[in-house]
A and B are shown apart, each in its own frame.
With several copies, the nearest count.
Chain A
Amino acid sequence: MSWDRNQMAAIAAREAQDGWYVNLGIGIPTLVSNHIPPGVSVTLQSENGMLGMGPFPFAGEEDADLINAGKQTITELPNSAYFDSATSFAMIRGGKINMAILGAMEVSEEGDLANWMIPGKLVKGMGGAMDLVAGVGRVVVVMDHTNKAGESKVLKRCTLPLTGKAVVDRVITNLGVLDVVPGGLKIVELAEGVSKEQFRSATEAAIVD
């Protein structure tokens, strides 16, 4: 009745165009790299200072000097390049990355994104998320449509501290795909078995036709 994590990642992977440079956030976005269609060559950026991020290493081949932005051990590829953090974010801020696929806590109908802080509860920090949403050409959010209590995470207005204002282009949830358009969100696709009514009732944000 709805997409699972891998299906959401596969939907997100269809966004990628041949030759693009893409930054993937932690969580479901990381899975996207497993679903890039054949014939589409995508170079993954890791904002801690690498282009051409490869898969996890084989056991015993981990390198403490080679990690991704999630601090996980990774590998390099033939086209990889390393650089420092100032250069990495110059690239991000300067619009050189074609797309970022990120997780979220909340998205608003105006494309506001909240994914870094729950006041009084979690104090982790925004990491590179604010830079990514401000700088990257296309921002795609992948998240569950509702929270554990069944409340919509696709809102009229975000309740949590923002990561960025009017920065999201597309939202992919377990229930479907939404584009941020003038006046609200537009349904692009519904998950198999999800009706428009179900989708609307799970969505607080304004949906425009």
Chain B
Amino acid sequence: MSKVYSDATAALDGLLFDGMMIAAGGFGLCGIPELLIDALRESGVKNLRVASNNAGVDDFGLGLLLQSRQIKKMSSSYVGENAEFMRQYLSGELELEFNPQGTLAERMRAGGAGIPAFFTATGVGTVVAEGKEHQDFDGRTYILERAINADLSIVKAWKADESGNLIFRKTARNFNVPAATCGKVCVVEVEEIVPVGAIPADGIHLPGIYVHRLITGTHQKRIEQRTVRAKETA
């Protein structure tokens, strides 16, 4: 039973339905599942609820699904780079659930780990805590946060072997790991698929058990803020 599909559209075949919940990896434009996002746009699937730390920029990443009005609700921690997002949100077209970044990551991890809810001190005394169960442990107050369970996880890794074992590259790992674990089905795009055995068993970042479908393709890998330093001359 091969996990490898020909392209993003083939890999999403049969998995999409209007109103579905999607967990997406990536931080800013780093490590985002760009091929799968493009295929989601082409599919026309509607009223998506998306858990993703960021919302892309206007013309790349999840911004494309905002542009096409395919997203109904975002659960994110920071959306400052996306003007269209702000416009849709402020006009009431888009629902937004702000999560502290660590709470968002942990909610995804909890969803993947069979933990329906956990307590955290993050957000206590802020709007984030409103309406949530509060409980004291050892003299400190915590709030109860619920797990995120998605219908589909979309993830970008660096390399995969054919059994789905993944490695990520540098800070492109980010939300891809927790997002991969919390979906009923997890579809992964990589820059290269290597034979089984090519990734050492001690070097695997996410085991293939989390990966149901796999594609490879050419990635743009856009840089959001190109910051450099001057080369000092000797």
Chain A residues in the interface with B (C-beta under 8 A) = 18-19, 21, 41, 43, 45-52, 55-59, 61-68, 70-74, 76, 78-97, 112, 123-131, 134-135, 161-166
**Chain-A contact segment, one of B12-20, B26-34, B62-70:** B26-34
Query: How many Å lie between the Cα of A86 and that of B158 in the bound state?
Result: 19
Specify which chain B residues have a CB less than 8 angstroms from the CB of A68 in the assembled complex. 171
Q: Which of B63-89 contact A (CB under 8 A)?
A: 76-81, 86, 89
Q: Which residues of chain A are within 8 angstroms of B234 by Cβ–Cβ distance? A: none
- Supposing A51-B209, A62-B226, A125-B77 touch, asked if A80 and B201 sit within 8 A by C-beta, the answer is yes
Determine whether the beta carbon of A88 is less than 8 Å from that of B124.
no
Are B80 and A124 in contact (CB-based, < 8 A)?
Answer: yes
Is A59 in contact with B228, judged by CB distance below 8 angstroms?
Answer: yes
Tell me whether B106 and A89 are in contact (CB under 8 A): yes
Complex partner residue of B80 from A46, A125, A165, CB under 8 angstroms: A125
Main secondary structure of the interface of A (DSSP, over half): loop
CB distance from B222 to the nearest CB of A (A): 7
Q: B residues near A, CB below 8 A? A: 1, 27-31, 53, 76-81, 86, 89-90, 96, 98, 100-103, 105-106, 108-109, 111-115, 120-128, 158, 161, 163, 165, 168-178, 181, 196-197, 201-202, 204-205, 207-210, 221-231
Q: Name 7 extra pairs, CB < 8 A, besides A49-B171, A50-B170, A91-B210.
A: A58-B230, A70-B225, A78-B197, A134-B122, A162-B125, A164-B125, A165-B124
* CB-defined contacts of A73 to chain B, threshold 8 Å: 223, 225-228
Give CA–CA (A71, B227) in the complex, Å.
Answer: 9
Task: Name which residue of chain A comes closest to B162, CB basis.
Answer: A79
A164 touches B126 (CB 8 A): yes
Docked-complex contact B225 and A49, CB < 8 angstroms? no
